[in-house]
Amino acid sequence: MASDPILQEIITLDEQYYLNCFGTRMPLCVDHGEGVWVFGTDGKRYLDMIGGLAVNVLGHAHPRLVQAITSQAAKVIHCSNYYYNEPQTRLAKRLAALTGMDRVFIGNSGAEANEAAIKLARGYFHKKGQPRVQIVSALMSFHGRTLATATATGQPKYSAPFAPLPAGFVHVPYNDLDALRAAVNDKTGAVMLELIQGESGVRPADPAFVRFAEQLCRETGARLIIDEIQTGMGRTGHFLASQFYGVQPDIITLAKGLAGGVPIGAVLASEDTASGFTPGDHVSTFGGNPLACAAALAVLDEYEASGLVAAAAERGEQLAAALRGLMAQLPEVIGEVRGAGLMIGLELVKPIAVAVKAGMMAKGYLVGSVGASVIRLLPPLILPESLIAAFTKDLEKTIQEVSL
């Protein structure tokens, strides 16, 4: 830290002026990025294996994305939703075609998208004269930090300090069919699920649980909301994780990688479900602005041109295979490798994840940790195979160093 005066100054200013929401961050002030690499203000280079928490799907400073953003910024950045704008409408059409959904609303973040999804499900039944307000979600889920989405999140640590909380939310154990059956009834407006719980340690849903949730929704008329904020945009080796699981949601939420780093979120709905919103029910000043939508269109263009969804599947299997090999060498330290595509969790037997994260950063790698014992990897989808071996070798060294 002493060798980077800019970092030291920024830490001092952050402690003085920024709201204390993050605690002590990793000792890195990012200056710029290029491809899969991030550079600190001290000039040191890092391989980005956390990708801005699944946001930087094209890595950093991708030429197609930079061109789209600069070109759109030179034309119009924002015009409000009093008027039509071409990128917004073309993005809605593109997302509908890619997902099989009918209607799209574009906001600014994942939390906003999930908030809108909850409102849409409740609005759908309100307009039918049916007071079905209950939202069933899973324990250990994560759906955002607004008051409603934090309440939908099945982790009280995110919501308890902000009581009284919105009513009508019920949580069931993840992958527990009996508990789900007991919770869903004629008061249920929606079942809201992540197909891989990222914030609780990259924990995939059992296919039987997901299919049963869909079945219950069809039987009762409840809306099925699939939160694809982290699993969407090809992250799992499919454009949507719901496509891999073979279910058809009534509502899908997207964000994170959708615009490659420009803030955006989207709610996608079936035609019937979309009737839950009528003019004035849900709007956003910045939502669907031309800049964010142009960025998202550029990301989708690059996906198509470079086959990035298939690349994520292939690269994810290569990375997972390397990690499974590492697990075979260190069974006393590594307990499990799980996830899909380039969304991978490495379960450590010992509570050393934070130390491993710090050790990897010292070696020039950015990785994530969840809790005390999970290393989370969410690299850009452009990660080349050639970097996997060195990463795995340095991870092995780091784990051995901190587990002594």
Catalytic residue IDs? 142, 227, 256
Maximum separation of any 2 CA atoms in the chain, in Å: 65
Instruction: Tokens 């899908």: give the residue.
Output: 252
Residue whose C-alpha is closest to residue 59's, from 95, 28, 27, 32: 32
Give the separation between CA 367 and CA 354, rounded to whole angstroms.
10
Residue whose C-alpha is closest to residue 189's, from 264, 128, 255: 128
Residues near 377 by Cβ (< 8 Å), separated by ≥ 6? Answer: 49, 50, 319, 339, 342, 343, 344, 345, 346, 367, 368
Structural tokens at position 259: 């615009």
Give the separation between CA 255 and CA 109, rounded to whole angstroms.
6
Cβ proximity of 373 and 49 under 8 Å: no
Burial class of 274 by CB neighbour count within 10 A (0 to 12, 13 to 18, 19+): buried
Q: For residue 275, which phi and psi values (nearest 5 degrees)?
A: -65, -10
Residue whose C-alpha is closest to residue 153's, from 190, 109, 197: 197
Pairing type for strands 223-227 and 30-34 reads unpaired
Burial class of 26 by CB neighbour count within 10 A (0 to 12, 13 to 18, 19+): exposed
Instruction: Quote the Cα angle for 276-279-282, to 5°.
Output: 65
- The β-bridge partners of 34 are 37
Please provide the size of the chain in residues: 404
Strand order in the sheet with 334-340: 334-340, 343-348, 374-377, 368-370
